[in-house]
Amino acid sequence: MENKYAIEANALSIYYGSFMAVNNVDMLIEAQKITAIIGPSGCGKSTLLRAFNRMNDFVPGCHVTGELLMQGKNLYSKDIDPVEVRRKIGMVFQKPNPFPKSIYENIAWGARINGFKGNMDELVEQSLLGAALWDEVKDKLQDSAYALSGGQQQRLCIARTIAIQPEIILMDEPASALDPISTLRIEELMQELKKNYTIIIVTHNMQQAARVSDYTAMMMLDKEGSRSGTVIEFSETKRIFTNPKDKRTEDYVTGRFG
C-alpha cells in the first residue's frame, strides 16, 4: 500500500546562523491533498516551505535540525542530493519567474536537464494542458514567455514544474501578485492538480486557504517577544476555520488578531 503521507516533518527547526527562524515543527502532509500554511508576516511560513525542497541551502548559514521524511528517507541526511530532492519536490514562486526564453523552452529546459528522453513536443503540450494554458499559447509557443500576462506566466511556471513530474508541488503565495480573475484560475487549477500531486501552499489570503485547502497549518511566533515561528495548530481546514482549538488561531482567522 502506498504511503498515506507524502512528506513528514519531525521536530524540524530551521536556523539562519544562530537565529532560529522556525521552531520544532511536526507535520504529516497527506498525499494528493492541498495543505495550506497561513499566519502573519515574518512567522517563517516561506522558510518552512523552502525547507521542504532544500531551497534554503542557498542561504548562507541556513541549517536545520530534526527530520524531514519522504518515503521513510530523511531529505536532510548526508547521502541525499538536494538536486534530487528538488527533482521530486517542485516549486512555484510568489512572483512569476519564467526563464527569459520562449514558452516552449521554458518547459523543455527543465525536462532536458533532467534527462527526459521522450517526445518533447508532447511533453510541452501535456504540461501546458495540465496547467490550463495550452489553448491560450498553442499558436505562439516560440514567443517570449515575458510577453504573457502575469497570470499566464504563473501558470507557465506551474506547467514548467509539472513537466518534470514531481511528487509534491510547493507554492509560495502563488497568486499574491495576480488579479482576482487570474487568482481564481490558479485556484481552479490547484483542484485539478491535486488529483496527481501533493500540494503545499503558503498564503496570506485566508479566504484562499479556506477555499482551496484540505488541511491548514497555522503558524505564529511561538511566544511574545520571540522571533521564532512555529506551527501552533494543524488540522483539517474546516476545523481551523470553524472550530479552532487555539485561541490565537481563532483570533487570526476571524480577523480579530492584534
Partner 1 sequence: MSINSHYPQAEDFRHALNARYRAASIWQALFLSALLIAIISLLALIYNVLDGAFGFVAFDYKNDPAAYTSTPMSELTQKELAAILKDNLSSGAYNKLEKEQPLEKRSQAELYTLFLERLVELDTKNTWSMTESLLHENEIRAEVARKYPTAKLEFRSWLTPQFLVTPMSSKAEFAGVRTAILGSLWLVGIAILFALPIGTGAAIYLQEYAPKNFLTSIIQTNINNLSGVPSIVYGMLGLAVFVRVMEPLTSGSVFGVTDANGRTVLSAGLTMGILVLPLIIINAQEAIKAVPDSLRQAAYGVGATRWQTVWHHVLPNALPGILTGTILSISRALGETAPLIVVGASTFISMDPDSPFSKFTALPIQIYQWTTRAQSEFHAIAAGAIVVLLILLLTLNATAILLRNRFQRRW
**Where does this chain bind partner 1 (CB under 8 A)?**
53, 55, 58, 60, 83-84, 86-87, 90-93, 95, 97-102, 105, 109-110, 113-114, 144-146, 157, 160-161, 163-164
Closest residue by Cα to residue 38 from 185, 192, 222, 217: 217
Report the alpha-carbon distance of residue 84 to residue 15 in Å, rounded.
22
Residue at grid coordinates 482576482: 180
Q: Which is nearer to partner 1, 71 or 142 (CB)?
A: 142
Smallest gap from Cβ 242 to partner 1, in A, equals: 35
Q: Which is nearer to partner 1, 37 or 92 (CB)?
A: 92
For residue 247, CA distances in Å to 187, 218, 223 come to: 29, 12, 13
Closest residue by Cα to residue 257 from 210, 218, 230, 216: 218
Q: Which is nearer to partner 1, 125 or 236 (CB)?
A: 125
Buried b vs exposed e over 80-101: b needs ≥16 C-beta within 10 Å? eeeeebbbbbbbbbbebebbee
Smallest gap from Cβ 23 to partner 1, in A, equals: 25
Smallest gap from Cβ 144 to partner 1, in A, equals: 4
Q: Which is nearer to partner 1, 97 or 205 (CB)?
A: 97
Smallest gap from Cβ 85 to partner 1, in A, equals: 9
